[in-house]
Amino acid sequence: LRVSPDGSRIAFFEGPGLFTTEPRASVTVVERSGRKSTLTANWSGLGLAWVPSGKEVWFTATNGVDPPSVQAVTLAGAVRTVASAPDWLVLHDISNEGRVLLSRNTVRVSIACQPAGETRERDFGWQWGATVRALSPDGQTLIFQEQLGNDLSSNTGAFVSRRSMDGSAAVRLGEGFPEA
């Protein structure tokens, strides 16, 4: 929730937040008179702030496919990309002088376990988004899925791998989601 520089409007994300099955949040503005406007829709949002002129709202959000990036939307609803990165960007604030406070966050989902007879956990993931799908009956082999993109609802960028608990390299078996 952010108040415009002149105090006449409030901007906020309206709708479900991040990590929903599909982006459905809107950047919404409510004027002091009570008039409500949706400036842009179909985002999963993380942070927003007014630019010093009050003519745009900048926000960090994802469209469900790309990592969250910095977007700008005018009060008329024109959207443009301000900045993007391979990792997640989160907008925290914009100063009256126009300085932007951003963080870049790396998200990694991994597989860690402590094999029998060992004293420490080991990381068995491979890329950035590993999910265990099966363990062999003897407990010596993992079957897992890796997701290279942020679209967790599709097979885009997903592949199946096998990895021995002895620590040897993962072996890519194919694309898509494995059946357990």
Per-residue pLDDT tens digits for 134-165: 888 888 888 888 765 544 444 456 778 888 88
pLDDT tens, residue by residue, 62-115: 887 777 889 999 999 999 999 988 778 889 999 999 999 999 877 667 787 777
Q: What is the mean pLDDT of residues 29-55?
A: 94
- Token digits for 141? 């082999």
Q: In this predicted model, which residue has the larger pLDDT, 41 or 108? A: 41
- Contact assessment for residue 158 and residue 144, using Cβ atoms and an 8 Å cutoff: no
Decide: pTM greater than 0.85. no
Residue with tokens 């993109």: 149
What is the pLDDT at residue 58? 97
pLDDT above 70 (res 177)? no
- Contact assessment for residue 111 and residue 128, using Cβ atoms and an 8 Å cutoff: no
